[in-house]
Structure 1
Amino acid sequence: MKKIVLIKAIFLVVIINFSCCSDESSQKDSDINMDVEITGENPVPELPEGFCRFDYECSNGIYCDGIEVCVDGICQPGVQPDCDDHIACTRDSCSEELNACTHDYDDSLCDDGDVCNGIERCIPNSPFSNRETGCVGGSPIYCNDNNDCTEDYCDSATGECKKKIRDADGDGYGDRQCSMIDDEGNRITGNDCNDQDPEIHPEAEEICNDGIDNNCDRMVDLYDLRCFPENDTCSTPDELPLDGGSVVGSTRTMRDDYTTGCGGTSKLDVVYILHLSEDHDVSINVLGDFRPAVISVQSVCGDRGSEIYCAENSLLARGLEAGDYYVIVEGATQGNFNISVELAPYTNVYNVPPTNDNCSSPYVIPPEGGLFIGSTTGMTNDFTASCGNNSNSPDAVFELTLTERKTVTLSTTTTYDGTLHMHSSPCVGGTEIVCNDDYPDTRHSRISTTVDAGTYYIIVDGYSSSNSGNYEMNVVISSPP
């Protein structure tokens, strides 16, 4: 600060001395350390560098340095022109030749390094340019071989069109339903068995109880040799689904742990549990590598005395109340199988005592029908029929009363060659309405007829005098079509 004050003082002295014309002042000028060249009538002193009286005395003649100004006798530098146009793709500079700012377009500042996007241009004034960068995008390279099984793309390094097998789920494995010819002329086929799920592919781990071929080896669950059943005993039963779908089971590595009422001995068995939240009829079917497949339904697992139903390959368990039931599947050999469960409306089950031998004591069928289980063993022959060799066998009598017109469907399963016929009232001497012997074989009969309100008699019979035994008769009563 002191230096600036001193300089200003010297400058003022110079001004004062030049404005005075006395000899005394002229004498004093010689004491000032200034070299002044006097020319013309009105001599003007040459100021030291950096000092000024007017702005023009400060100008260095360089446009791009800005306009220098004189402030308090001292030259101040100018403010350089702001040449930034705030457009990213222009190179901004100050031109001494033009005395102006210049903005040169540079396409390289727009290049994103991906030739597949096309050549980007710097065109700030274009209506299609980016407002911030001033760049206009190029025309991208379009790759399409019109094959739905390929994914076509542009190589960003070379700009060439290339293709690969469709991989819709993005797991790195092509769709097994697709193939293509590569650039070398080789046929390539996909190996992904489910191209909609990235969790399913050839390198995935097989999940042994989900019903899915997880690793695409065409082996589902226990059909995959890397999977083994774990439901060998009642302590580890598998739960059966109730949605009508099937699950894979296997007797591989299993043992003979339990006996069933229809399976004999030395059978390999596996155990399932069936959870019923409501009363239902339940149909169970087994289809697999071995035949027959024995199916046993038990209320206490492994207890043959609690067995409710037992059959080969398929089983209809009627009248199961809500609760837990155990299903044991047996096979004579090791092998895989599919087991499925279907639910049906609950059927009332009636155990018929052997007292309905004739018209004097028929067993009365309730209006809602049901399943009737009994035996004709020890009964007498009281009826003949138009089918089944006149049905000269021991027979059981049922009575059905309808209050309105209905369709009556009757079906029997017997341990003997049975027949089934229906008569109008009275029980003795009534007219035969319908008769069936075999449907579709000698162990099954079926009739269906629509009748008016009234009382009718249904006879469970046999083909000849030696045909008697156990029977199940299912009665369905419905509105006529």
Structure 2
Amino acid sequence: MRTLVLVSVALLVAACQGGGPVVVDGGRDLGPMDLGARDAGDPCSRSEDCEDGVACTRDVCDGRGVCVHTPDPLSCDDGVFCNGAEVCDPNAGCVAGALRDCNDRNVCTLDRCDEGRGMCLHLPRDFDNDGEADARCAGGTDCDDADPLRGTLQAELCSDGLDNDCDLSIDEAVCGRPPHDQCEDALDVSAGGLFDLSTAGARDDYGALCSGPAREVVARFVLDDARDVTLRADAAGSTQVELRSGCGGGTVLRCDTGSPGEVRRRALPAGTYFVFVASSAGSVQLSVAFDPPTTQPSNEDCGSARTVIPPFAESGSFVGTVDDLTLSCGQPLAGDLVYAFEVPAGPPQDVVVAFAATSTTDAVRFSLRSTCSDASSELGCVRGSPAGGRFRSLAPGPYVLVVEGPAEREVDFAIDVRLEPGTTAPPGDSCAAPIDTPLEQIVHGTLADKRDAIQTPCGFFYRDAVHRFVLSEPRDVSIDLLAGTNGGAFVFGALGDTCEAMLPTTDYCVGGAPALLQRLALPAGEHFVVVEAPGTPTYQLEIHTAAPTSVVDAAGNDTCADAIVIPSQSSVVYRGDTSTLANDVTSIYCGSGARSPDATFLLELTEATVVRLSTAGSSFDTTLLVFLEGAACSNFPYACDDDSGPGGTSSIERELPAGRYHVVVDGFGGHSAGPYVLRVDRGPFPP
């Protein structure tokens, strides 16, 4: 043994003195966490031992008996292209990647991410959307990319001082005029029929009486004897047609703008007439029809009412009639006719009226009243296409029916009036007999046997049904409204504490397909829901309640200078009314200009925070705007939203950097205001 030890020592010394490599073992391995850094997986005997709780890693036990956790980025893919590629973090799991960067750093392309195609699009720069790229970019031909009426696809216009067709020449002598641009070159349409015209390159030479497209072309016709005349201008856009007794200073006989535009004259005398046609689409088809002359109706006012005996039915025309009487559901300047009849002596009877336009699909209106000249004696006013109604159990005596066409054109019509045995109004037909409605149950209803008895703040002249429910204590209330098959039809709903023929404008009223009515902390007592749907007789509603939300009443916050400071708590709910405020804030980026009255709040953040803003529960079509404090609450919001919330309300959820922000509750367009709710929540929020 001694010899062996000596030999070993000798060999060791020799090795230390020689020139060969020296291998030194650091001693016993400290395991998989040498010096604090993992150099191997956990020991295992099967893959089930390797579950690490991270969903996006593939956990297996390899042949060495060691756990291997391989990230699988494909398992994190959310199927959305434009939000970037998700990645698998071995510790955190799936995390969002960077948003897809579609910016190609080329000022001559408009870059956007197309989710449908799953790719970045780099479209030629065309700011005016006229189909031509900016001439300052390679291959571009548009010499003015800010004006859609200038480009190589446009015709040169004389005497406007512009190079309309981008050929580097202004008002060149060869630009000429399109055919039939002036009375001297008017198209002869005396034979009647269909005529294709184009207003491309035309000028506004004669100035129509009604508003609409300005650049017109001219047609003319000659009548040898009196004829009924119908002129109809149809195009892809709006059209304007005007009839004059002469060119230039001739008398304007009728002018109409619409889709289509239409002019009709009854028994137009012999003579020469000019037709001026304009279109926003350029190309327009003019229809000209001549028919035997007809006489003007004689029953145009109360003094000339035509007496009829039900049942009666007839066809007629509003051509040449004027607006003599006021209907509660009527239109200004719409022609009307008057019929008088009696419910004979005996028991009360129902009066059933059916009325419709026959030459178009325009809505028409009728009013039933007991005294012709007294609008307050109106028993009901119905609007529709067609319009129909049942007036129940009317007492014997005289009645007057006033029928009215649309203001925009003179239509033909058909009317039918009959008497039937008197009936009792069904539940829900009026405030006097509301439908008592349970909570937390789906209730199905019909409008087929109802009438338009209630005028709501957001609805129109459609049949409605009245529901009533009772709260024993204050509760938050949410009402789901659906109409038609699978809830696909538009429906209006109004929620109020009282019921009357005209609901207060302060009542909560929304429309949608479906619609959602919400009220916070509704007091104990009875409440009324009015349901109105234009295109279907069937609907359903369900009333949900919850513990009342604590709300803060907001008032006096009319401008950014008067903004209410939002406290730093995680959640706060405000309740106010913009109808008492002024329009101080506008923006072209949301809510059709957001020109309605608005209320302002101040949000202060000391660090980047995810903020959720919602106007759910408001009574009108809201718009939410968020401005950086230094932006003076004008035009360019940091964030905005119109209709992301339920029932035309607004919702914004995003991370805001530290700073001070003005939060503005506004309305869509220029006439949306009323009671509102603003809920402010600060994150983080659970996934």
TM-score by length of 1: 0.39
Higher relative contact order, chain-length normalized (CA < 8 Å, sep 6+): 1
Greater strand share, 1 or 2?
Answer: 2
TM-score by length of 2: 0.29
